[in-house]
């Protein structure tokens, strides 16, 4: 009961005030969730291929963006680019100043099936 009393500021319309305070509280929590920084690098590892200039870099298995996730393990390591090319992600690497995705481009692209329509 004390919790509800703390939400009321004036004697008029107590139920409306409780609902408004609850809404304000929920909005504050949601705004904190939306402030997540992207990209987020997750799952450290030391198994992937790196180039000679990135030997001291940190390697990750997964990178999370606001609307997508990229991973290094099959079957989740394929990525279609806006120019139509298809990439297999081999490794995700970060240095103190830059982020890199080591990938291989799929050169042979054929339909997986043709019936009832092309894939």
In angstroms, the CA 20 to CA 106 distance is 55
> What span, in angstroms and rounded, lies between the C-alpha atoms of 22 and 17?
9
Average pLDDT of the chain, as a whole number:
84
- pLDDT class for 111, splitting at 50, 70, 90? confident
The DSSP output letter for 14 is: H
Task: For residue 77, give both structure tokens.
Answer: 């390591």
Prediction pTM value: 0.63
Structure token digits, residue 19: 């609902």
Question: To the nearest whole percent, how much of the chain has pLDDT over 70?
Answer: 93
Hey, where are the domains in the chain?
Answer: 40-105
Quick one: which H or E segment has residue 58? strand 58-64
pLDDT classification of 93: cutoffs 50, 70, 90 = very high
Alpha-helical segments (H) within the chain: 2-7, 14-33
Peptide bond into 116 cis (omega under 30): yes
């Amino acid at each position: 009961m004390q919790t509800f009393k703390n939400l009321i500021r004036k004697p008029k319309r107590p139920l409306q005030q409780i609902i408004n305070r609850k809404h304000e509280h929920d909005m504050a929590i949601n705004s904190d969730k939306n402030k997540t920084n992207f990209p987020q690098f997750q799952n450290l590892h030391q198994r992937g291929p790196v180039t000679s200039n990135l030997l001291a870099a940190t390697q990750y298995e997964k990178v999370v963006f606001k609307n997508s996730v990229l991973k290094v393990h099959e079957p989740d390591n394929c990525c279609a680019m806006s120019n139509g090319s298809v990439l297999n992600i081999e490794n995700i690497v970060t240095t103190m100043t830059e982020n890199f995705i080591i990938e291989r481009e799929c050169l042979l692209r054929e339909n997986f099936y043709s019936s009832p329509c092309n894939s």
